[in-house]
């Protein structure tokens, strides 16, 4: 049985018929060709598939597709504007070398985007705790934390002042 869902992805309306056993990650990657969110474990443990759903960061691999009806989803593809101008966090990740292989990077960016919206000026400890659900094997996290600190200092909730 298919479920009809109407929702928004990066502010664009989407109408789909989805299987009950499909996840938001399946929908994004397979139906909508939005491959920025990655599958690292499929079990909600690594955070590589993090997207923002109704203002909160979620593991897209744990959200069932029928739950999407009425939802507002932001993916990494929705962070830069349509002309490709990067968000402050995206810019800071590049500037601070807060990425290496890049596979976990979209997940970190989404978690950090949600974190700064919720808590525009977090402490270093709050940042570390806030991103501790996202695993990175390359960076050692220091530069990721520094990039987020930089944005917290120079923006209001991740949005340019």
Partner 1 sequence: MKSVGVSIDRVDGIKKVTGQAKYVDDMKMARMLYAQVKRSPYAHAKILSIDTSEAEKLPGVKSVITGEYYKKRGGLYLEDKNFLAVGTAKFRGEAVAAVAAETLEIAQQAVDLIKVEYEELPAVTNAIEGMKPDAPIIHPDLGSYKVAPIFHPIAGTNISHHFKLRKGDVEKGFAESDYVTEHTYYVPHVQHVPIEPHVAVAQYEADGKLTVWASCQSPFAVRQALAASFDLPLNKVRVISPYVGGGFGAKAGTTLEGIVIPLSMLNCGRPVKLNYTREEEFEDSYVRQGVHIKIKTGVRKDGKILAEKVEYVWDAGAYTEYGVNIVKAAGLAALGPYDIPNAWADSYCVYTNHPVGGPYRGFGMCEIHFGLEQNLDMVAREIGISEVEIRRINGLRAGGITGTGQVLEDSGYQDCLETVVKEMDYDTPSVSPSPTKIRAKGIAGGWKSPSMPTDVASAAIIRMNEDGTFFLMTSGQDIGQGSDTALTQIAAEVLSVDPSKITIRTGDTDHTPYEWQTVASRTTYCAGNAVKLAAEDARDEILDLAQIKMGYGKRDLELRDGFVVHKMHPEIKVPISTFALGLTMPDASGIHGPLIGKGSFVVPNNMGFDHETGQGTKPVAFWTMGVNGAEVEIDTETGEIRVLKMVSCFDPGKVINPKLYDAQVEGAMVQALGTALFEELKLKDGKVLNKSFVDYKIPTADDMPELVVKVAEHAEPTGPFGARGIGEPVMVPGAPAIANAVANALGVRFYRMPITADDVLKALKEKKAQEA
Query: Which residue, 116 or 143, is less far from partner 1 as judged by CB?
Result: 143
Structural element, H or E, at residue 8: strand 2-9
3-state SS track over 77-93:
HHCCCCCCCCCHHHHHH
Number of residues that bind partner 1 (CB under 8 A): 56
Binding map of partner 1 across residues 95-134, x = CB under 8 A, - = no contact = xxx-xxxxxxxx--x-----------------xxx-xxxx
Q: Residue 20, interface with partner 1 (CB under 8 A)?
A: no
Spatial contact of 13 and 74, defined as CB atoms under 8 Å apart: no
Binding to partner 1, residues 35-94 (CB under 8 A):
35-43, 45-46, 48, 75-77, 79-80, 84, 86, 90, 93-94
From 25, 27, 136, 151, residue interacting with partner 1 (rule: CB under 8 A): 136
Question: What is the radius of gyration, based on Cα positions, of the chain?
Answer: 15
Residue 32 beta carbon to partner 1: minimum distance, rounded to whole angstroms: 11
Residue 14 beta carbon to partner 1: minimum distance, rounded to whole angstroms: 17
Residue partners of 64: CB distance under 8 A and separation at least 6? 20, 21, 22, 23, 24
Q: In what order do the strands lie in the sheet with 72-74?
A: 12-19, 2-9, 72-74, 50-53, 56-59
Spatial contact of 75 and 9, defined as CB atoms under 8 Å apart: yes
Q: Binding residues for partner 1, per CB under 8 A?
A: 29-30, 33-43, 45-46, 48, 75-77, 79-80, 84, 86, 90, 93-97, 99-106, 109, 127-129, 131-145
């Amino acid at each position: 049985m298919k479920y009809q869902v109407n929702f928004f992805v990066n502010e664009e309306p989407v109408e789909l018929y989805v299987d009950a056993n499909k996840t938001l990650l399946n929908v994004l990657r397979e139906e909508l060709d939005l491959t920025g969110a990655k599958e690292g474990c499929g079990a909600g443990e690594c955070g590589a598939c993090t997207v923002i759903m109704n203002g909160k960061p979620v593991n897209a691999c744990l959200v069932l597709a029928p739950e999407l009806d009425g939802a507002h989803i932001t993916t990494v593809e929705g962070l830069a504007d349509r002309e490709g101008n990067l968000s402050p966090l995206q810019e800071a990740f590049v500037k601070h070398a807060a990425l290496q292989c890049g596979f976990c990077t979209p997940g970190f960016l989404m978690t950090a985007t949600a974190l700064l919206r919720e808590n525009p000026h977090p402490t270093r400890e709050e940042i570390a705790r806030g991103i501790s659900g996202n695993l990175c094997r390359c960076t050692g996290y220091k530069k990721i934390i520094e990039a987020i600190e930089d944005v917290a200092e120079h923006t209001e909730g991740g949005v340019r002042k």
